[in-house]
Structure 1
């Protein structure tokens, strides 16, 4: 089986339900471990991630191993027909290792070595740590690689962070020497060395930035971030060597994350690079449901955006590796899910491509920082409390959705997300320091398609553009000539391209394009953006578009027209009555440029026009009001339709053709009323 063919579905033709299980915290309580087995069945769970932070229990002293407890856990889970996702324990090393081998400890940006404690504070470059992780991973693979309960490998946990030790400095210099073919001139050209006399005359002069933003050499900052991604991947690839060798058919994943303050993709690592080395994408989702700053529907849209990004990284179903059945313990306010929300939020993940609902955590810890984090089993050890019953309801629902496993979401719309461009834009000392908001801007452009039930692939610049009728590219600040060429080919071959303000300004080294906007972009769009006006929060402007007026904030691009058509005009300021929105027929395709940051009503009207022109109809024909989301996964035989009410009120929906409720078995046609937070999952035959 090739790496590309590996999938958990080769072993599991069912929705995975369960989550992080930490029996190593309860080895002195065999009664608790026995209760776990009973409760797992009552919760309708079937899959458990084990061993994530268990190194000190697996190897309490250097070279002294204790696997018997893990043998028993495997046997217990297997006895109830369950599966194990076995983790490598590198996310948190034992204290004896920090004491014996202090080089494994990270050094922060101020060049201060961190103390033992916490987690994820190990040096990714450390030879000792790499040797130790391979050693324990090999023993795990030898012992459990053929166990019938082993479903997949979970490598480490939530990779992140960086180290600035001497080993990492040397490795960074070597990385740069390789990138620039050993030529300091090439590096100085890329980093614009003469600025503030930062020309490098010897490789030994290069050091990592103490923190991004403090170094004014933007090329250095960008390369350091790239290096952190590559070094993290290198560490991961070192971890999996014995697993690939001894268990070549067992799929491998690691859990990606999201930045939770505003629920955007995790920013510190370029997951588009990391995804290439995984068999299955998995991620940890912790949206702050029922918060006081946005509607439930707005938050659901953000969740959907990240789902569609992580699903699109490999164009296949992903796994929800961690979620909470109730609340977390690290939001500013840790509010628990209201009745109905757990099932609704779980089914939204499945609707957008997840083949699992897994939790952190199975059982609440008794002590330390996670003792009040949500769990399936609370401190009361009861199957009768509300949260446990909510989990069991999800499990019972998932048991009826096995036909959906492995299906995907075909899309005619691509929305381009780029980690490197965001790094460079955030580093740029210009525009509005608080209003760049690149990920949030993409979510604004995604919103209309989500509300209209139009599937979207949130893709990266390396992926195939030709698969889409419409490609939306907001705020692509950094864009290489290679990407520009691919965009040009996309439009010339008949695609429709949408680009916005603050796009195409610098190349892959974060160097501004000379001569104005890149000539190929000028050719595609038929315009020359000549100036970006940045507005204060109280500044007001408007644009007119198709006989309507829309408010504008933050940014306005002054546009010089060459041969494009004017679609919208600025109303105020020194650029009043000049082009704000343009369109241009380029060979067989069409390119639109949106010059300013506009209100949601504009995005709605603009994209609705394109939806109609390009015949971007939703897959389902379920009619509904705003706040209800209808998402579809498809197989050759059937469409699986998720109808979800993200409002606080009852909502009528109209099924225009006969469908079958996959949970209740009833046939539905005509109007059906969804209660607050209710979800219906129906099957429509394609025969």
Structure 2
């Protein structure tokens, strides 16, 4: 439970009373009651109000809001306000101003505009956090600390350059080790003095945002900047914790945001919170995967949905309205995947600047007679009725999908083999294929406990960090099923290639080695050809390819190509699928070949292998397959491992998720279609949103863009 001061799913959002007068506050409070709102996040961007100069603090307005909100029974999520420094700080302490990727010193403006290695910023932000904790730490309305806001953005100033050199000294210890780790003999980059190291940006090693001459340097700078911003968070966290040790601390993350290593950040947070802003055309499984990733950051612990819009956003290219029912549907989707709060940005719509067209609970018209407010109030009533029953309920997935930010950075920085490789998209393909089969999956880090799962999938595990391969081997040897893909096991944590053959440290458990990697043009496709019996041995083409490649024959490609052509030309009992993007040319070293390529000079070479290792099996998917392949493949893998779908069958756009608590399973049926959906339940239960009415096993309907929560025995 986030806080026993409010033992229910929190309902509220960002509130900016400093932008309004007392008469408006009174109306806000009246409407908050109508909507069932019980939490307000305040002081998010109020540093300039809280501290008009470096020696003066003025909390009169905040004192008033604490008393008014508490008097209305509304708990407070108190932000430290440090997401944007005041103008006076930029003028008097210019070291707080960032230098951008192109080497330009910024002026005052915007937000998230502070250098994370600025001595002035660190001093003043920690001091403000201390002042807030001294003043409000014992106030009964305080529920949680919200440090800063949506951390992000890199800096390339002299303070960051000096900080980077210190960070490198701590990481590597000596210039000799640094030079070895970065392979600096390439292009004459050997460093003889720490002062010779400079940040990699448009003035030195990088161009185009993610293109670089030296992956090791650029990768370490991303680690350093993520750590620098994290240090800023920890300074404020420690300041408030010193005075309020029992009040939880969070900061709002942003799903798949690329610049920060959220697994590392989550270790420093009491509870993960995040801001969910999908577009109207975002696949609902991608949003679900983001929720599961946020839950996975802290080993399955429930998280906070800190922000979502009640209707439309203001910053996307096309800011569509949420259709009737969608706000409720997406709110319950967050809860289904582990959220213990439902909160909005914003509670009242601003009248000026760039967020005046961002949706709000209270629109510019200023009253409750709007579609958006009616929907917000209806959801508030449901959350009130459910109360705390769902709090702390956890997932119990049997499949884990590995996601790693440093691996993502390394892939993005790679100088090949294709600019089209998108780590998030490749991970989502596997998540989506499982979701379409109503199979739950956790998003987990590289250091997760794999033994809790029957199947672990690590798509495009390009970077294999120390200990990962050994953990995979232990998992498979003990009976687990491991799946990885093309472009895996290539480099170590320094982005230095593991010589001796890809997939490096994963070669033994996979029983294959990869000779070459073919990059296909966007319009190019190859084929995956396999036996119709997934659980049986691969037939003619695969067997021939295995014999040829195991022997290392120089004419393997030609011979196998002829075999494959015969099969593709009309042999019965074989399935074919499309593939593209990248094709690894692999050889078996004991792995069973389950499928082969159908085209090009490597036709007949293995495209899918499985290796028995101890009591388990390790699969290698050597290319990026189409949706049909992943559906069939993962269905077979789940069946082999006794993994049951959450429902026996469901309509096309119906999403399922489950949370478990105290012997009860809460099955969420979320219909994303604009028409009625359905699901086939293997066992009945009680309808949580229907007053506890009994629901029988069999087919149940779910209204268009509707939600049902079925309480069952776990």
Query: Do both proteins adopt the same fold according to a TM-score greater than 0.5, normalized to the shorter chain?
Result: yes
Could you tell me which residue of structure 2 aligns to residue 308 of structure 1?
Answer: 292
Structure 2 counterpart SS, 1:660 = strand
Aligned to 1:22: 16
> Per-residue CA shift, 1:594-642, capped at 9, x if unaligned?
0111100000000000111101113x44642221112111112311111
Corresponding residue for residue 270 of structure 1:
261
Q: How does 1:284-433 map to 2 (within 5 A)?
A: 284-289=275-280, 291=281, 299-314=283-298, 315-401=300-386, 402-433=388-419
Structure-2-length-normalised TM-score: 0.91
1:10 aligns with 4
The partner residue of 1:462 within 433, 447, 465 is 447
| Gap change, CA 1:560 and 1:99, over 3 Å in 2 | same
Of 586, 608, 616, the residue aligned with 1:581 is 608
CA RMSD, Structure 1 to Structure 2 (Å): 1.4
After TM superposition, give the deviation of residue 655 of structure 1 in Å.
Answer: 3.7
Q: Secondary structure at the match of 1:377?
A: coil
CA contact (8 A) 1:411 1:468 kept: yes
Question: Larger deviation: 502-511 or 514-523?
Answer: 514-523
Gaps of 5+ in 1: 1-6, 259-264
Tell me whether 554-563 or 56-65 shows the greater mean CA deviation: 56-65
Map of 1:190 onto structure 2: 181
Output one character per residue of 1:57-104: Cα deviation in whole Å (capped at 9) or x when no partner: 112233222212212211222122221000011101111111111111
Report the alpha carbon displacement of residue 650 of structure 1 after superposing the two structures with TM. 1.6
Structure 2 portions without partners, runs of 5+: 533-573
1:73-222 correspondence to structure 2 within 5 Å: 73-181=65-173, 183-211=174-202, 212=206, 213=210, 215-222=212-219
Q: Distance in 1 between matches of 2:684 and 2:463?
A: 48
**Alpha carbons of 1:463 and 1:655: their partners in 2 closer, same or farther (altered >3 Å)?**
closer
The DSSP-based 3-state class of the residue aligned with 1:550 is: strand
Distance 1:237 1:218 in 2: 28
Structure 2 residue matching 1:453: 3-state secondary structure: coil
Is it true that 1:473 corresponds to 2:458 in the alignment? Answer: yes
**Deviation for aligned residue 1:540:** 2.3
- Counterpart CA distance in 1 for 2:239 and 2:504 is 50
CA distance in 1 between counterparts of 2:504 and 2:301 reads 36
Q: Deviations over 1:271-319 (max 9, x none)?
A: 0111100000000000012x3xx6xxxx110001111111011120001
- Which of 598, 621, 626 is the equivalent residue of 1:599? 626
1:572 aligned to which of 577, 599, 607: 599
Deviates more, 1:63-72 or 1:634-643: 63-72
- Residues 449-482 of structure 1: per-residue CA shift (max 9 Å, x gap): 2222222111111221121111101101111242
Decide whether the 8 Å contact of 1:324 with 1:374 is kept in 2.
Answer: yes
TM-score, scaled relative to structure 1: 0.94
> Is the CA contact (8 Å cut-off) linking 1:255 and 1:282 kept in structure 2?
yes
Encode CA deviations 1:490-516: one digit per residue, 9 max, x unaligned: 111211100100000011111111111
Structure 1 residues 178-233: Cα deviation after superposition (integer angstroms, max 9, x where no partner): 1111x111111111101111111111000001154454011100100000111111
Does the 8 A contact of 1:98 with 1:116 survive in 2? yes
8 Å contact 1:488–1:520 — kept in the other structure? Answer: no
Task: Answer with 510-519 or 203-212: which moved more.
Answer: 510-519
**TM-fit CA distance, 1:431:** 1.4
Is the 8 Å Cα contact of residues 317 and 408 (structure 1) preserved in structure 2? yes
Check conservation: 1:622, 1:630, Cα contact below 8 A: no
- DSSP 3-state at the match of 1:557: strand
CA distance in 1 between counterparts of 2:36 and 2:593 reads: 58
Q: Is it true that 1:515 corresponds to 2:500 in the alignment?
A: yes
Inter-partner Cα distance in structure 1 for 2:241 and 2:490: 42
* Residues 211 and 413, structure 2, Cα contact 8 Å, conserved in 1: no
Alignment deviations for residues 312-360 of structure 1 (CA, whole Å, 9 cap, x no partner): 1112000100000100001100001001111111100000000111011
The equivalent of 1:627 in structure 2 is 653
